[in-house]
Structure 1
Amino acid sequence: MPYTPSGFFCDRLIRERERRDGEGSLNKPLRFNGQDFSALRQEYLTKKSLFEDESFPATVESLGFKELGHKSNKVKNIVWKRPKEICENPQFIVGGASRTDICQGDLGDCWLLAAIACLTLYEKLLYRVVPHEQSFSDGYGGIFHFQFWRYGDWVDVVIDDRIPTFNNQLVFTKSAERNEFWSALLEKAYAKLHGSYEALKGGNTTEAMEDFTGGVTEFYEMKEAPKELYKIMKKALERGSLMGCSIDSLVPARFETRTVTGLVKGHAYSVTAVEECKPSQHKESKVRLVRLRNPWGQVEWNGPWSDNSKEWTTLSKTEKEKLQHQSAEDGEFWMSFEDFKKNYTKIEICNLTPDALEDDKIHKWTVSVNEGRWVRGCSAGGCRNYPDTFWTNPQYRLRLLEEDDDPEDNEVGCTFVVALMQKNRRKERKMGANLFTIGFAIYEVPKEMHGNKQHMQKDFFLLTSSKARCKSYINLREVTQRFRLSPGEYVIVPSTYEPHQEGEFILRVFSEKKNTSEEIENRIEADHPVPAPASAGEESEEDQQFRTIFQEIAGDEREITASELKNVLNRVITRHKDLNTEGFSLESCRSMIALMDVSFMDGTGRLNLQEFRHLWNKIKQWQGIFKHYNADQFGSINSYEMRNAVNDAVMCLVSRSGFRLNNQLYDIITMRYANENMNIDFDSFISCLVRLEAMFRAFQAFDQDGDGTIRLSVLEWLQLTMYA
C-alpha cells in the first residue's frame, strides 16, 4: 500500500528519538497507541469505574472487516462481556499457565495458539509477554496489558477486559477452566496490535513465536537437513532458543492421528534437550539423543530410548542422572537422533536475541537490526532478474569480524543468519494488502572498497555473482537462512521479487561472533565527467540570443519577473526538440527567482541580467546531465536513474560543503517529482534541483556557526518554506 512521505518519515524520526531515550527496549517498552497502563489503571481506580478502550472498542470494527465485518451474519449475536459478567470468581491464571489454558474458538488462529502453547513451556519468557501480577481482585479496574516484540521494538499493549461472547460463551480462545481468562485476553491484545480479530486468521506459528521473543526462526526439512543439524540444535538450546518439530499429515492438523510408535501426525512437539551418552556395549562411539515433549502432557514415543526401553539398562547411574531419565506418562521422552530424523519431517528453531533472557550463563546471538523501505520508482528494484533496477534496492554493508570457535570439518568461517521481514502486511490486510514475495542476495565487497559506504552501482551487479543468497523468494512475512562465509565485508541486497512494490521491512543479522551491519547512506559516485558551466568570457550564439530576448522583455527596468522569466526560458528551451518539453511552469520560474535572490526572503522577486546569466549557466549544466540520462530521447528520465542524475547535479555543492544526500531524501524526491509512470520530465528535474539548492543555501544562511544544525521559529520556518 502507498505511504505518504510525511507520515513515514515523521514516524521514523520519532522511533529513532525513542530509541535514543531507551524506549522500545525490553525494560522500557513502547506504549502502543500512547497508552500508559499504570497511569490508566490508577485513573480508573480513582474514578471507581472500569476502563473502556476507545482505541479498540467493543464494536464490529474490532471484530473484523469481511467475514467478521458489518455484513456478516456471524457478528449479529455477539455480545461483548467482562469476565465478571460471564462467570463467578474469574481468575487471570489458575494453577499456572499451561497448554490446557488454550482452546481454539471460532477463529482460524491455531498458529497463534500453538505458539502460546509453546511459550507456556518457558515460564520466564511467558511472564514477560503475560505480566502475571494482574488479577480480577486486587487493583482491578477492567484493564490489562501484554507485551510483544514488533519489528525491532518491544511494545506494551493495553486492553479492557470486554471479550466477544455468544450465549455467554467465549467466541474465540478460551481455557479449559471456565473461570480462567489470561489466554483470551492475550489473544485480544494481539488482535488489537494487528487491527482486528479477523486479521489473525491464517498464519505461521513461528510468526507469533518471534513476536513473543524477538527471535528469528530457522526452518529445516528433515530430508534436506544440513549435516551439522545436531550441532545446530545443541547450540540453539545452549542459547535458550525455542525449538519445535512436527510430522506432516495429509489430513488437517485438528484431526491428529497417532502412529503405532506413539507419535502423532499433524501435531507440534517441543525439543527440550540434545545430549550424548555412552552405553556400555558401545566401546568407542557415543549415541546422540534428543528429548521431546508432547504438549498434551501424555502420549509418548514407544520405540528405542523410550521411557521403559531396554536401552536404558546399558547406561550407568551417572549417565541416567545426567539425562534426568524417569519413567512417567508426562509427555516427555527420549529418542535417538537418527530416529528423530526418520520420524519427524520438519524442525523450527526460534533463536533468541541477546536481550531475550537476562541469564548471562546462556550463550546468545549477536544481532544487528536495520529498518528499510522499498519505494516505487526509487528503491523498489525487484530481484536480480531486473538488472536495470536491482541495484537501486536498499543495500546493507555487513562486516564479519570473528570466525567460529568450532568450525565444522575444519572449515574456517563465520556463521550467521540473515532474516528479512516485511512489515505491517497483516494489519493492512483489510485494505487489500497481501504478503509480497521477498528474498535477498549477498555480494562480497572488493578489498579496495572496504571501509567506504558507496552504494554499489548497476555495473557491479552485472559483473559480479552473488556470494550467497536465500534459497528462494517466497511470500512469507519473513525469509531466513543460515550461511557461513569468510571474515570480510559483504553487501546484502533485500528486495521484492517484482519491482515497483512498495513497503517497509527490517533486516536482521544474527551471528555467533561479532558482526556489524548498517545501511549504505550512499553518496553515489558518477562514472562520467560533470559538464562544466560556460565561463564568463564565453558567449555562444544561444547566449547572445538570450541576452537579446532578456533586454527586449526587461526594458528600462533591466529586471524580469517570474512570468517574464517563463517567457524568456521557454522561447529558447522549446527549440530543444530532444527534450520533448512543453516548457517551464510559472511555479518553477518563481522557485528559480527564489534561488537566485542573493539576500533570500528580502529580495525583489525579480532577476537582473547578471543573476539571469548565472541561472542560465546552471540550467545548461543541468540540461547536459538530463540529456545524458535521457538515453531513449523520450524527453524524460526513469525515476530509478534520478538518484544518479541528482547526484551529478549537486556534486559541486557536495565538494564545497561535505553535504550528501541519503536514501530517505532520494525517496522523497521520487515521490515528489516523478509522474504516475515513474518518469521525471525536464521541468520537474530542474524544479527539483532548484528547490534542493535553494533549501541548502537557506540552511547555510541560518547555520552561522557551521555546526550542521539550525533553530527556527515557526515564523522563520513558514517564511523559508513558503518562499523557497
Structure 2
Amino acid sequence: MPAPGVCMNIVNARHMKDGQGTRDNPERFLNQDFEQLKQYCLFKRLRYIDDMFPPDRRSIGEGILSPSDLKQVVWLRPAKIVPNPYFEVDGISRFDFGQGMVGNCWFLASIGALTFQTDILQQVVPLDQKFDENYCGLFHFRFWRFGSWVDVVIDDKLPTVDGRLIFVRSKNPAEFWPALLEKAYAKVCGSYADMSAGTPAEALTDFTGGVHMCIDLTNPPPDLWELMFRAGKSKSLMGCGTPQGETSANTVLPNGLVQGHAYTVTGLKQMMSRGQLVNLVRLCNPWGRGEWKGDWSDGSPLWQTVSPEDREMCLAVADDGEFWMTLETFTKTFSDLDICCLCPDFIDGSSSCHWKTSFYEGRWVAGRTAGGCMNNLDSFWTNPQYRVRIEELLEECSEGHGEKNMLVSLMQKPDKRNRRLVKSLHIGLTVFEVNYKAQRGKFDASFFSKNNPVAQTKTYMNAREVMEFLLLKPGEYLIVPSTFSPNETASFILTILSKSETHVHENSGAHDHENEEAEEPMHIENGEDIEDKRMLFRQYCDKDEEVNAEQLQKLLNENFLKGDLQSRGFSTDACRSMVALMDTSSRPSGKLNVDEFVRLWNKIVTYKDIFFRIDVSQTGTLSLSELRNASIAAGKRISDNMLNLMALRYGASSGHMSLESFISLILRFDCMSAIYRQLSDGMNISLREPEWMYLTMYT
C-alpha cells in the first residue's frame, strides 16, 4: 500500500534537503532505477519493456493519428529497423534530425539549441549509451521538471509504419538518439500527443533547470544585440517563434518562414557589408528543411558584399533549414525570443558576480489561499506571502550601477500527469516594500489597501512561467504571487535570484514548526462553576465515574451545542478522538474521568466562543477564508500549507466548516502540539516503530 500524500510530501521535502533532485543526483522518475533495471535485464538476458510507458496506442495518445493509421503502427526496436543501429554517429548535431508527425517543433528547436552546449547536452543526454554487448533495450535521459532533476527510463521500442519512424527521425537512418530523447520527453509529458503545441521556453527550461528570459520582439529592448551576444558567450540556449496565422496551421509564407512555428537561434555574426556593420542572426528550422528567402538568405546577392573570409565562414548553400537574416528583419518577422541559461550573468555581462538562488514551492487553494490579483483587495491578502530582506550589494556586483539586481520567477506546477490536460491560469507577481519589522504573520487587507506596489506584473499571463527583473534597494520586501481571478487552485514554484545577500521566508505565520509562534488564545470569561460541570458529568458517567465516547457524545450534543448545530452534532468518531486526546492516564482506558472532562469542557467552550466571534456573517459556519483568523484567535499560528491541510481534513465540500469540526480540529492541533513538546528536544522527534504505532493508532 503506497504511503499517503501527506507522508510523501514530507519525504520529498527531505529528499530535496538531502540533495536529491539536483543535477548530480536526479530523482528516479516514476521510481524507476536505471542501474537496477539494467542489471536485472542483463542478469536475466532480457530486452526491457517499459510497463510505465508501454509500446501501444496509450503512449501515442489521442488526436495525432487517425484510427486507421493507429492500426498500422508497429513498435520496433532499432535493430529491427536497420541492421546496425547506433546511439549517435559522428557526434551530435542540430542537422541530425527532422520533425515527424507530432507538432513538437518547440521541443525540436530546443534540441537544436541544446546541441551547441556540450556540458548541458551531456547532462540531458548521457552519451555513454550504446548498442553493444551490454545492450538490453534500456536507455535513460534527464530533464528538469518543476523544481527537480529527474532521470527518465525508457525502452527502445519506437512507433513505426512500414518500418519507418513516424515521429522525429535522424537524417542518418542508423542514428537513434533523437528518437529516443523524444520518447523520454513524451513519457514525462504523458504521451506523444501531449507534446503537441508549446513554446521553446518550456523545453529550454527543462534542459537547463536555469533562468528563462522571454523578450517580446514587437517591442525589443534597445540593447537587444548586446544582450543576445552576451547570452551566446555565456552558454545560453536560444529559441524563437513566428506569429500565429489566422489558423493554427503551419502555413509556409512566400518569404519561406512558417507561421506559428518555433526556430532555433544558432549563431550571431557582425560583419562589414558595403562599408557598414551588419548584425546577422542565424536561425534553424527544426523541420530540417525550408528556409528564409529574403535578404541574406542562401541565394542572396548580399553575400557578395562581404569579405571572402566571412562568406566562407558563414554561408552554406543547402536546404538544411538553416539561414541568416539581419537583426532588424529578425525583430520584424519573429514574435518572441526565449533565452535560457544556468545563470543570468548575461543580463549585465558581469561574470564576477554570482547570483544567489532561493526556491519555494507553494499552492493557491480556492476559498483559502487563492485571493486573486489586487482587483480583489478584500481577498488579495490571503494569497501566499514571501518576506524578503535584501542586504547591501556585494562589492564585486556593484560595477553595473543602476542595473537590475533581482530576478523573480513564478512557475505553475501541474497537478495532472498529462500535459494536454493541464489548464494554465493567468498568474503574476506583486512586490511591496515593508517597514513593519515587528510584524508577525500574514499582512492583512488593511496593509494592501494603504500601500502601493513597488513592482508588479504588468499583464497576468496564462503561461507556464512569468518573471520580473527588478532593481530593489537594500531593505525588506513582500512578494505576493497570485492568480488573476480569486478562488483558482494550482501549485506553483517561486524562484528568487539576487546579486545581493538575500534572506527569504514564507510569511504565513509559522516556519518549520507550525506552532513555534503560538500565542495565548483569546481570553473567554467562563462564569460556569466547576461544581456545575461535575454535576453534569455525573448525570452521564458510569459507576466508576467515567464516560466513554458514546456517553460523551450524548452529553455534548444534549448540553453543549444547544441548537448551535449545522450538522447532526459531534459524531461518535469525533468523541472517540476527544477521549483519546484528553485521556491523561499512563495506560489509556478509552474513558475520561471528571477532571479530564472539565479540562475538555473548558477548551471547547473557549473554542465555541471564538468560532462565533469570527463568524461575522452569522451563518453558524466558518468560511474557509475565516479559518486562519479563528486559528490565530485560538493561539495557533499556522502556515498556508497547514491551513490547506486542515480545511481538506475538516472542512465540508461546500467550502464551510461547522462548529463541531472546528472544535475537533483545534483540539487535535492543541493536543498534538503538546505531544510533540513532550517527546521532542525542541527541534526533532525520534520514535521507534512500536512507539509511533502506539501513539498514532490511539490519538
Same fold (TM over 0.5): yes
Deviations 1:387-430 (A, max 9, x none): 34332222222344455999999973643332222223562457
Counterpart of 2:63 in structure 1 is 67
Counterpart of 2:579 in structure 1 is 593
Paired amino acid for 2:50: D
The 1:241/1:567 distance shift into structure 2, 3 A limit, reads same
Paired amino acid for 1:639: L
Counterpart of 1:449 in structure 2 is 437
Does 1:714 pair with 2:699?
no
The 1:324/1:309 distance shift into structure 2, 3 A limit, reads closer
Distance 1:464 1:226 in 2: 30
Q: Give the drift of 1:148.
A: 0.8
Distance 1:141 1:556 in 2: 74
Q: 2:479 aligns with which of 485, 492, 495?
A: 492
The 1:444/1:104 distance shift into structure 2, 3 A limit, reads same
Distance 1:385 1:515 in 2: 30
Counterpart of 1:657 in structure 2 is none
Q: Give the drift of 1:56.
A: 1.9
Paired amino acid for 2:667: V
Q: Give the drift of 1:686.
A: 0.5
Q: Give the drift of 1:137.
A: 2.7
Paired amino acid for 1:393: N
Which SS does the other structure have where 1:158 is aligned? strand
Q: How does 1:573-722 map to 2 (within 5 A)?
A: 573-575=560-562, 577=564, 582-599=568-585, 601-603=587-589, 605-608=591-594, 610-651=595-636, 661-703=638-680, 706-722=681-697
TM-score, structure 2 as length reference: 0.85
Q: 1:437 aligns with which of 416, 425, 433?
A: 425
Q: How does 1:464-483 map to 2 (within 5 A)?
A: 464-483=451-470
The answer as to whether partners of 2:424 and 2:463 remain within 8 angstroms in 1 is: yes
Which SS does the other structure have where 2:183 is aligned? helix
Structure 2 unaligned spans of 5+: none
Which SS does the other structure have where 1:646 is aligned? helix
Paired amino acid for 2:522: P
Q: How does 1:252-651 map to 2 (within 5 A)?
A: 254-257=250-253, 259=255, 268-271=262-265, 289-294=279-284, 302=295, 329=317, 337-338=327-328, 340-353=330-343, 365-401=355-391, 403=393, 412=402, 414-424=404-414, 427-428=417-418, 433-449=421-437, 454-512=441-499, 514-523=501-510, 530-534=521-525, 539=528, 546-554=533-541, 557-575=544-562, 577=564, 582-599=568-585, 601-603=587-589, 605-608=591-594, 610-651=595-636
Distance 1:18 1:648 in 2: 35
The answer as to whether partners of 2:241 and 2:263 remain within 8 angstroms in 1 is: yes
Give the CA RMSD over aligned residues. Answer: 4.0
The 1:228/1:487 distance shift into structure 2, 3 A limit, reads farther
The answer as to whether partners of 2:434 and 2:478 remain within 8 angstroms in 1 is: no
Distance 2:573 2:437 in 1: 43
Distance 2:198 2:177 in 1: 22
Q: Give the drift of 1:568.
A: 2.9
Distance 1:649 1:133 in 2: 60
Distance 2:116 2:141 in 1: 18
Paired amino acid for 2:362: G
The answer as to whether partners of 1:646 and 1:689 remain within 8 angstroms in 2 is: yes
Paired amino acid for 2:407: V
Does 1:48 pair with 2:45?
yes
Q: Give the drift of 1:339.
A: 5.2
Distance 1:184 1:417 in 2: 35
The 1:551/1:534 distance shift into structure 2, 3 A limit, reads farther
Identity %: 35
Q: Give the drift of 1:522.
A: 2.0
Counterpart of 1:83 in structure 2 is 78
The answer as to whether partners of 2:546 and 2:591 remain within 8 angstroms in 1 is: no
The 1:408/1:25 distance shift into structure 2, 3 A limit, reads closer
Structure 1 unaligned spans of 5+: 652-659
Q: Give the drift of 1:280.
A: 12
Q: Give the drift of 1:136.
A: 1.7
Paired amino acid for 1:689: I
Counterpart of 1:139 in structure 2 is 134
Distance 2:486 2:375 in 1: 10
Distance 2:695 2:11 in 1: 23
Counterpart of 2:24 in structure 1 is 27
The answer as to whether partners of 2:433 and 2:453 remain within 8 angstroms in 1 is: no
The answer as to whether partners of 2:140 and 2:151 remain within 8 angstroms in 1 is: yes
Which SS does the other structure have where 1:619 is aligned? helix
Distance 1:489 1:291 in 2: 42
Which SS does the other structure have where 1:553 is aligned? coil
Q: Give the drift of 1:690.
A: 1.6
Q: Give the drift of 1:666.
A: 1.8
The answer as to whether partners of 1:244 and 1:348 remain within 8 angstroms in 2 is: yes
Which SS does the other structure have where 2:7 is aligned? helix
Distance 2:665 2:226 in 1: 56
Deviations 1:567-603 (A, max 9, x none): 33333334365x6564333333333333332225534
Paired amino acid for 1:471: K
Distance 1:312 1:104 in 2: 33
The answer as to whether partners of 1:105 and 1:171 remain within 8 angstroms in 2 is: yes
TM-score, structure 1 as length reference: 0.83
Q: Mean alpha-carbon deviation: is it higher for 171-180 or for 77-86?
A: 171-180
The answer as to whether partners of 1:299 and 1:329 remain within 8 angstroms in 2 is: no
The 1:197/1:410 distance shift into structure 2, 3 A limit, reads closer
Paired amino acid for 1:455: K
Q: Give the drift of 1:676.
A: 0.7
Distance 2:657 2:580 in 1: 22
The 1:373/1:206 distance shift into structure 2, 3 A limit, reads same
Distance 1:109 1:426 in 2: 20
The answer as to whether partners of 1:414 and 1:487 remain within 8 angstroms in 2 is: no
Q: 1:156 aligns with which of 151, 175, 181?
A: 151
The answer as to whether partners of 2:109 and 2:263 remain within 8 angstroms in 1 is: no
Q: How does 1:107-186 map to 2 (within 5 A)?
A: 107-186=102-181
Distance 1:195 1:647 in 2: 42
Q: Give the drift of 1:627.
A: 1.0
Deviations 1:438-472 (A, max 9, x none): 3123232422327x763222322233232222232
Distance 1:481 1:394 in 2: 18
Residues matched between the structures, number: 684
The 1:413/1:486 distance shift into structure 2, 3 A limit, reads farther
Distance 1:426 1:173 in 2: 25
Distance 1:165 1:619 in 2: 68
Q: Mean alpha-carbon deviation: is it higher for 519-528 or for 83-92?
A: 519-528
The answer as to whether partners of 1:352 and 1:364 remain within 8 angstroms in 2 is: no
Q: Mean alpha-carbon deviation: is it higher for 561-570 or for 245-254?
A: 245-254
The 1:89/1:143 distance shift into structure 2, 3 A limit, reads same
